[in-house]
Structure 1
Amino acid sequence: MGNIAAFSVRQWQFTLVLFAMLAAMGVSSLLSIPRAEDPSFPIPTVLVVAVLPGADTIDLEKQVTDPLEDAIDSLDDITKLTSRTRDGVAVITVEFDWSADAERKYDQVVREVNAIRPTLPAGLVRLEVKKFNTALTNFMQVALVGDGVSALELRKRADDLRDIIDRVPGVWESEIWGEERTEVRVAIDAGRLAELRLPVTAVADALKAEGAAVPLGALHAGERRFTVKTEGDFDTLDDIANTVVRAADGRVVRVRDVAEVTWAADEANHIARFSGKRAVFITANQKPGQNIFDLKKATYQALDAFERTLPPNIQLERGFDQSENVAKRLSTLFRDFAIALGLVLVTLIPLGLRASLVVMLAIPLSLAIGVTVLHFTGFTLNQLSIAGFVLSLGLLVDDSIVVTENIARHLRMGKSREEAAIEGTRQIAVAVLGCTATLLLAFLPLMFLPEGSGKFIKSLPVSVLATVAASLFVALTMIPFLAARILSRHEDPEGNKALQWVMGAIHAVYRPVLHRALERPGVTVLIASLLFVGSIALVPRIGFSLFPPADIPQFLIEIDLPDGAPLAETDKAVRFVEEQVKQMPDVRFVMANAGHGNPRIYYNISPREDDPTHGAIFVGLTQWKGKQSTAELDKLRTRLAAYPGAQIIVRVFENGPPIEAPIAVRILGPELPVLKELAAKVTAIIEGTAGSRDVVNPLRLDRTDLDLGIDLDKAGVLGVPAGAVDRAVRLSLSGEAVATYRESDGDDYPVTLRLPMEGRHELDVLADIRVPGAAGAVPLSAISDPHFITGPARIDRFNRERAVTITAFTATGFNTDRVTRAIGEQLSALALPPGYRLMTGGEAESRSRSFAGLSGAILVAMFGIMAVLILEFRSFATTAVVAGVIPLGIIGGMVALFVTGYTLSFTAVIGFIALIGIEIKNSILLVDFTTQLRRAGTPLKAAIEEAGEVRFLPVLLTSVTAIGGLLPLALGGSGLYSPLAAVIIGGLISSTVLSRLVTPAMYLLLAPKEVD
């Protein structure tokens, strides 16, 4: 190590050029590294959506859900296979192990679904496989609002805007939401069909045959070959109306004889509004590796140009803009960084002006190298990576402080600058290397944490590791070079006035206290042990959590009506919520959706698929005011609770991987009636537990349906083909796209056959439906006996078993862990029938998996650190002395969490892991110097006291700089990284104070009497 320092000092030209290059690379990386709000990582989860109109829940489970699950379940690495089946729609979620390749697993699911597709019911109108990826979160959601504008014109404008946005460099995909789809409607006259004894399927088949482009063969003319085919798509409405349905007995029946052909708006299944006005939403997501600010600039330039082409009655409203959240987060963190830099500078005053300048130059160089590594490893500059750099700020100067302070000490001994730089670095190099190695080993396992939590925070340890490793390199190369040229040759042996005052205080106060502690070392260690036990006793009162709310100025309101409710009723509830939201202060925009979830605008929340009973409102505020905004949301919840017959949940966005809800209890068993009964009991327990709110029981209400009661014997006698009844009824009630109409501009529109919109869902319409039979059309009433039946609103499955999950959220002021434990205590007394069992989901399930990974990381870090210590000291006893500092930091960390009110969250545990490395790093400095003094012949007790006094200043400075660097993070109020900073600050305070007495006492008790 001394050779490296000697080379850097003597070959100073090379050292200067090397670090100039590294600084330039750092600046270049900082300017070009992508910026994002949150980390981007693939989620190994695949969604399969199947839509079979008219199918009831139980039939759909049997015909679609079960076969799909059976095919998918053969794949490897599946950790959870869940499904939700309701009237006409089945959604299957496949979660793979986080170590699996997300893209490869998606391809495997697509392969299995395609393989089984031919065996599924022919009436499936949609079978789609979707992937999850945080990078596909929309960075923008705008709205086109039209007053008195036709649906066709608004859709064309939206199509134009989507095409424009798609062409912006860096945009992955743009989508349209909530448009009123335009169709060519063939509205059946059921009475006329009855007169002509024609089934509705005859009209559908005629239009399908006429509208199909079918190759008929080929003709050769000389050396040319021509394909012969009939024209396919319809070009005019008259072509459709003139299509022949039947020609018999000299009479031709055309479509116009039994139906009206017109332009019409499709039945709405997604109603969108912007601040109360009917709208169409357009969203865009970005390609990986893009800079959100550059992308916003290019996209908004395109929006501005498009807006200038709009007529006065269409407005382009800019709603959600992710770059605003990113800018606010980054500006806050950069502000914290600047404050931390100033605090670190203040803590270096005892070193003197020149020494402080040497140490301060290590900061930009280390950070430049760290940013370069972050960029070239493919990470973005997001809230986690910047928090890592802020955390590093208090750590990266440690090595430079220790080296600079030791060089200055050698200068005060009368050595030349070059000799002091080389000898001072050589003396401390091994200890510095060991110290930094322990710190790196504390953070290294965090890079390999399993589950989504590990993926979410990965950029934090990468930024810390890169920056701290760079600081070691800088401390052993650049610092000796700078010290040899900047530090004064004539250092005052007593140091500057600040140093004299600090050293005087250490000698006057610390030395006598240390002397007394060494007189009774066993008592000293016992007192520290009791304090440690007392701090552990605080854990139940502190509580556990996973990740905190995101603290962004947006929130989501989800509205659910009972199954079977029409879209009009859902929209009525959505309008009520909109009116209540308008009463809130600081509302910037309100984006309402009825019949569909809001487009995905946060990485861990996906929109609900088409569902007429569901609504979602995305609300943007001018700013998030912490407790004040939280109180406003509580008031809003109270007002929304007054709406009858709807489940309305106000959700703030949460950090971390996706979870179903903070509180979730899953009941598994074979029979739906038993599951419903048990779900009611569990729901009562959760609702009766203090701290729970918005409890959702999906089996609370049954669904009422109309069973046609088909008489299969009669149908067989009359020659009604299998499946003909289903198709005829579906055509009449739901409609069917039977052909395509192509306009001159190239746009395609579906030709949809259905009964007239008005009154087509009334019961008496069934009397007009006819189905094909052997002797002609057969009235549906001749083979059916309609009657009402009740059945499950939906069927959920968990790993191929029927299940029901009761979810809930935590009320303001309550800890999720405590509420979950209170619910669990009551559930333990619930008697379950044979074959039924309970499982805990939600945050508790995710936390247990994430904390299990953290436990492994802690073990790896501990064993790695122990290995380094044993390698350095070659003594188990000395290693135990160094490691004995760990409980001392835990004392302060626990007290800090208790005082600040933070829970033992995922990031707080990471703070404890980091604290272990920092503590041991400081402890090594003391123990290593004590051993050096003993090797020089100093008696044991005298060596302990001298080392404690000499090493007090560098340990104090490194601790204070770390505290100063972390103080802005701790005081910033962020639920994500403030607990981490609080743990480290509290731990460093207790460790710095107690270890000055406890570590010497342990050394006196355990250290070998002889040293090599």
Structure 2
Amino acid sequence: MKKLADILLKRSLLFIVLIFTVSVVGVYTFLTIDQREIPETEVNLINVITAWPGADKDDIEENVTNIIETEMFSISDIEDVSSVSEDNVSVLTLSLSDGSTPDNVLNDVNNLVQSISGDLPENAAQPEVESITNAFPLLSYQIHSDSFENLEAVRGDVESLKQEIIQMNGVDSVTIKGYRESAYEIQLDWDALAEEQLNPNEIMNEIDLSLSPVILGQDVEDEEIIRLAFEDETALETLEQVRVGENKVPLLDIASIESVESTPDDIVQYNGSDAISFTVFLSSGEDVPSVSENIEAVINDGFDSMPDNVTVDNISSERENVEDIFVGLYTSLLIAVIAVIIGTSIGLSLFGSITVMVTVLISIFIGFIPIPLIGVDLNQISVIGLIIALGILVDDSIVVNDNIERRFTLGESKGDAIYNGVKEVAPSVIASTAAIVFTFSPLLFLSGANGDFIKALPSILISTMIVSTVLALTFIPAMRQVIPVRKVPKHPGLLGKVFTWGSRIYADKVLPKVLKRPLLTFLAILIVTLLSVGLVRFTPFEFFPEADRSEVTIDLIFDEGQTIEKTHEDTQEILDHLLSEMDHVKGSSIFTGDGLPNLFGASLDQSGENTAQIALQIDKEKMSASATIDEYEEPLRDAFPDAKIFMSTIIQGPPASAPITVEFFEDDLETLREETAALTEQLEESGDIVTSSIGSPVETLQYSIDYDALEENGISISQVKNELNMISEGIPMQEIIEDGSSKELSLKYADEFNLDNVDIVNIEDGRPEMYPLSDFVTVSETEDTPAIQHKNGERTAELQVYAADEAATESLINEFSDGLDGSTELIVGGESSDQTDFFVEIGILFSVILILVYLVIAFEFNSLVLPLIIVFSIFLAISGGIIGLFVTQTPISFLGIMGMVSLTGIVVRNAIVLIDFIEMRRKDGSVDDIYTAIYESGRARFKPIILTTVTSILALIPVAFSGDVLFEPLAVTVIAGLAFSTLLSMVATPALYYFYYKFRYEKKK
């Protein structure tokens, strides 16, 4: 050890240059690391979508969903399989297990889908497999005009801009909402068909042949290859030339070709005008500012060329959000750096404080080097991690530097003072750092979105702490070696005399009184600590706070079966009512149908023609988003009772589920529908708002086939189903290309033909026989849900419950569950349950943390009892954090809990340093009795303990007063916990050590 120290001190200058060189890499990493507002949360989901046009949900479930679903369980890395079977489509959502490789699973799913596609119905489309990414909106624009025709006129330009943006680096996708699609229908005249003795199958075959491309290949003439080409007409011109049947009847004699507007997926409106939404999504792991600047340049050029009758407004820019947030965070970081400089200068000499400050900054930069390698970028959490790290990192440097200067004051030579000063505190410094590392390491294993959200904090603290400890034991000695000044002022620091006076008061007056009545002292502190825990009941709770933003979104759910046009009309009425009541709205958008393109943290879980979202831009100086929701949500629900209305704003955390969710598992569909409807009715009668994953029952016309009549008349089932398709949605055919884009084509009977005036033609003995379709089909009115949902192969339905009184609602649900028969399983979850699960998980992790910290200290002191004294300071810190939150009425939150966990590692170092000094004095025989050892330990360690605590608090004060509701609970918790723990542990630790000494040593005498 001595040889290594000598080598380091002899090459101090070279070592310092090396450290500064490495720190340059850290500075580069800090300046170039990807920036974003919040940490990315991993989304390990895969969708398998299978379309089967014309099939109802029951056929979809039996012939598509069940087949694909059964096979998916064979892939080992798939944890859960959920599915929704609706008319025309099956959607499977696969949840991947933790630790799986998404690309490998995606490949396995694709291979499996290919292998089973032959088992699916002939008319079903090839299943589409897509990985759901965690891409989030980078930029969003509203392209609006007084006339929708003006928007249609620039459609080609908008589509071209989309293709250009998609090809740019860092772009995941581009979403355009608001345009309406058109299609072509060949509407057959059934009477004309009957007169010409034609059937739809003949027409379909002829159309398919006419639209199929001509493959001529090539020819060879005189040993020269000649390419053969075919000049075709447009699809519509080709259809007009189609001839059908033996008599070559022109298609237009028996049908008309109509251009029809498809039901739009979205209707978008901005400030009362028709609009098109244009949103760019960022790829995973990309830098927000740099990617955004490149895209904005291209988009601005594209939009500048728009005609004067079309206006483009930017309604969301992630770059602006990031820049605004980072200005505040960097200001707090700069203030924290200044605070740390001031904190170190008040108790250390000029050279000492400079050495400590340089060491701390270098620790941060070098500690930042591995951060991108572990998947952490620069975001709100990582910057706060840096601010906390600033306050913690000074501990090692202050302790080492202060002890070296103390050795100088004892008259030792420079080499001996440096060596002995480091050697004396190295064990306690290493042990306290190990305790911090073991404190934050379990947080890396926090599961789910909460774990992804907080990952940056422990990552940065662990990395910088390890670097800080290494530099404190190497870089500081090297710096002290090259500094020519060896003499240290008698009272170093701006407040050196104050620290000297304080250490004397503490050692000569406080500690003697403590040791005179150690039991009384400890019991008094214990009572205060236990009583403080009860303050939790009187402290507000908010798991993740609302952001201080100017966006308010309103989710609207109307009755199932309502057309999208009616939904848009009703939504407009609600918006008009709001605008008449609110005087602080600066802008508004309506997204009817699928809803917002994931803007402002808002999206619709079950979107459709009966859903819409309103996005309000408010003047938050007049009224905050949360106050707006509190004032207007209930009156809006009262004014429009037919709609389910939810007002929300951006939450600073991972997406949350409904407050209460209720999952039903029941194989019998009728029972499942009845039970979900019954519970929904009870909940709504109690005043709760309930939504269902399978939708509410809607009016349904049920077609039933008389199979006996079919057999009696020799009619096939396919004939009946084919006729039913022709009088309803029609039969889809191959798409046609028009103006460079594809349009759907379908074949159906004209609207005047229905069940009552269509006959089935059957050939008997060479003669056509006509049978009314109504002879084989009966129609009944009923109610049915629009979807069938599965979870891991079982039929299920989920209710999302928004309750005013969650306890009463849970009691009602439990009572309902008790009355169910044995075949139905009911599981209650939701945000409240998720939070409970989090507290259970964090409780387990905290237990692991305590065990790890205990083992580190036990190893350091070679004792099983002594660590209990040090661990007691953790409970002092937690109680102090609770007191701080209560006094300031700062909500207990996710980050407040993280602050309490952080205190676990931070506060033990004071007790370790104090006890380590007592143990050294006791063992080396330099003191006469245990009293003197405790007094001298207090005298020597008073300044570094107080100095590190004050410096840590100063670093966090800017955050505590920043007004950032996300980080205030963390800052208040750490500040109060540090202050409370430091003051009380400096009393409780000597008292407990005194008991330990009496029991451990004097008892043996």
TM-score relative to the length of structure 2: 0.90
CA offset at residue 578 of structure 1? Answer: 3.4
Counterpart-to-counterpart distance in 2, 1:113 and 1:99: 23
Match of 2:593 in 1: 595
Distance 2:802 2:606 in 1: 22
Moved more, 353-362 or 328-337: 353-362
Equivalent residue for 1:616?
A: 613
Q: 1:954 to 1:769 in 2, by over 3 A?
A: farther
Q: 1:224 to 1:298 in 2, by over 3 A?
A: same
Query: 2:82, 2:93 within 8 Å by CA — same for their partners in 1?
Result: yes
Give the conservation status (yes or no) of the 8 Å contact 1:200–1:771. no
Task: Verify: 1:824 aligned to 2:807, yes or no.
Answer: no
1:788 aligns with 2:773: no
**Cα deviation 1:867-898 (Å, max 9, x = unaligned):** 32122111112222222222211211222333
The residue type paired with residue 37 of structure 1 is E
- Indicate yes or no: 2:948 matched with 1:948: no
Matched, 1:531 2:528: yes
Cα deviations by residue, 1:220-258 (Å, 9 ceiling, x for unpaired): 667677898988x862522111112x232xx32222223
Correspondence 1:251-330 to 2 at 5 A: 251-261=247-257, 263-330=259-326
- 1:292: how far off? 1.0
Q: Do the aligned partners of 2:332 and 2:959 also contact (CA within 8 Å) in 1?
A: yes
Tell whether the 8 Å contact from 1:597 to 1:608 is kept in structure 2 after alignment: no
Query: For the residues of structure 1 that align with 2:901 and 2:19, how far apart are their CA atoms?
Result: 31
AA at the equivalent of 1:48: V
Structure 2 residue corresponding to 1:723, chosen from 718, 729, 735 = 718
Q: Secondary structure at the match of 2:704?
A: coil
Once the two structures are aligned, what percentage of the paired residues are identical? Answer: 26
Q: Which moved more, 1:221-230 or 1:859-868?
A: 221-230
Which position in structure 1 is the counterpart of 2:29? 29
**1:814 — aligned with what?**
none
1:984 corresponding residue in structure 2: 974
Q: CA deviation at 1:675?
A: 4.3
Query: Aligned pair count?
Result: 989
Q: Given residue 372 of structure 1, which amino acid in structure 2 is its aligned partner?
A: I
Could you tell me how far apart the structure 2 residues matched to 1:686 and 1:609 are?
20
Q: What residue number does 2:136 align with? A: 137
Q: Does 1:881 align with 2:869?
A: yes
| CA contact 1:580–1:636 (8 Å) conserved in 2 | no
Measured in 2, the distance between the counterparts of 1:872 and 1:595 equals 64
Per the alignment, residue 667 of structure 1 pairs with 664
The equivalent residue for 1:816 is none
Is residue 454–residue 850 contact of structure 1 (8 Å, CA) maintained in 2?
A: no
Which runs of no fewer than 5 residues in structure 1 stay unpaired? Answer: 812-818
| Corresponding residue number in structure 1 for 2:882 | 894
Q: Which residue of 2 aligns with 1:235?
A: 234
TM superposition shift of 1:439: 0.8
Deviations 1:452-506 (A, max 9, x none): 3222221221111112222212222222233345585332323356121233134
Q: Which amino acid aligns with 1:308?
A: D
The structure-2 alpha-carbon separation of the partners of 1:842 and 1:126, relative to structure 1 and needing over 3 Å to count, comes to farther
For 1:70, give the aligned amino acid: T
1:527 Cα deviation (Å)? 2.7
Give me the whole-angstrom Cα distance separating, in 2, the residues matched to 1:369 and 1:895: 36
Runs of 5+ unmatched residues, structure 2: none
Q: Which among 793, 798, 804 is matched to residue 797 of structure 2? A: 804
Q: Tell me by how many angstroms 1:270 deviates.
A: 2.3
* Map of 1:706 onto structure 2: 701
1:399 aligns with 2:392: no
Q: Which residue of 2 aligns with 1:1009?
A: 1001
- Measure how far apart 1:193 and its partner are: 4.1
**TM-score relative to the length of structure 1:** 0.90
- Aligned partner of 1:741 in structure 2 is 736
Q: Would you say 1:865 and 2:881 are equivalent positions?
A: no
More moved, 72-81 vs 677-686: 677-686
Cα 1:347–1:731 shift into 2, 3 Å:
farther
State the secondary structure of the residue aligned to 1:280.
strand
- TM-aligned CA distance change 1:226 to 1:267, over 3 Å: farther
Deviation readout 1:753-773 (Å, 9 max, x if unpaired): 4566xxx5x9x7444556664
The answer on whether the counterparts of 1:675 and 1:803 sit within 8 Å (CA) in structure 2 is yes
The yes-or-no answer on 1:997 pairing with 2:987 is yes
Is the CA contact (8 Å cut-off) linking 2:694 and 2:798 kept in structure 1?
no
CA contact 1:737–1:752 (8 Å) conserved in 2? yes
CA–CA distance in structure 1, aligned partners of residues 931 and 506 of structure 2: 18
Are the equivalent residues in 1 in contact too, given 2:560–2:695 (CA < 8 A)?
Answer: no
Q: Is 1:367 matched up with 2:382? A: no
1:2 and 1:423 in contact (8 A); partners too:
no
Counterpart selection for 1:962 from 934, 952, 971: 952
8 A contact 1:685–1:823 mirrored in 2: no
Compute the displacement of 1:127 (Å): 4.1
Q: Distance in 2 between matches of 1:900 and 1:165?
A: 48
Provide the alpha-carbon RMSD of the alignment: 3.4
Structure 1, 917-926 or 497-506: larger mean CA deviation: 497-506
CA distance in 1, matches of 2:489, 2:340: 24
Q: Please say if residues 447 and 462 of structure 1, whose CA atoms lie closer than 8 Å, have aligned partners that are also in contact.
A: yes
CA distance in 2, matches of 1:407, 1:452: 46
CA contact under 8 A between 2:381 and 2:456: conserved in structure 1? yes
1:344 corresponds, among 331, 340, 343, to 340
* Superimposed CA distance per residue, residues 186-208 of structure 1 (whole angstroms, 9 cap, x where no aligned partner): 34445544554544454333322
**Aligned residues of 1:149 and 1:313 also touching (Cα < 8 A):** no
Q: Does 1:467 align with 2:464?
A: yes
After TM superposition, list the pairs within 5 Å mapping 1:415-430 onto structure 2.
415-430=412-427
**Equivalent position to 1:382, from 366, 379, 382:** 379
**How much has 1:385 moved relative to structure 2?**
1.4
Aligned residue in 2 for 1:929: 917
Q: Secondary structure at the match of 2:360?
A: helix
Residue type at the aligned position of 1:118: G
Once the 2 structures are TM-superposed, how far is the Cα of residue 285 of structure 1 from its aligned partner?
2.0
Contact 2:16 2:479 in 1 (8 A): no
CA contact (8 A) 2:438 2:849 kept: yes
Q: Is the 8 A contact 1:669 1:675 kept in 2?
A: yes
- What CA distance in whole angstroms lies between the structure 2 residues aligned with 1:970 and 1:126? 56
Is the partner of 2:946 in helix, strand or coil?
Answer: helix
CA contact (8 A) 1:178 1:279 kept: yes
Q: Is the 8 A contact 1:9 1:422 kept in 2?
A: no
* CA displacement 1:49-89 (0-9 Å, x = unmatched): 44445544444433433333322233335444333444444
Cα distance in 2 between the residues matched to 1:552 and 1:396: 33
Match of 1:332 in 2: 328
1:264 offset after TM fit, Å?
A: 4.8
- Assess if the C-alpha contact under 8 Å between 2:349 and 2:488 holds in 1: no
Q: Once structures 1 and 2 are overlaid, which stretch shifts more, 611-620 or 514-523?
A: 611-620
SS of corresponding position for 2:488: coil
Segment of structure 1 superposing worse, 980-989 or 123-132: 123-132
Q: Following the alignment from structure 1 to structure 2, what is the Cα–Cα distance between the partners of residues 401 and 413?
A: 18
Q: Map 1:14-25 onto structure 2 (within 5 A).
A: 14-25=14-25
Q: Distance in 2 between matches of 1:282 and 1:699?
A: 30
Match of 1:649 in 2: 646
Shift, 1:947, TM fit: 0.8
Which of the numbers 814, 819, 840 marks the counterpart of 2:828? Answer: 840
**Alpha-carbon distance in structure 1 between the residues aligned to 2:19 and 2:548:** 39
* Aligned-partner residue type, residue 287 of structure 2: N
Code of the aligned partner of 2:855:
A
SS at match of 1:42: coil
TM-superposed CA distance for 1:848, in Å, is: 4.4
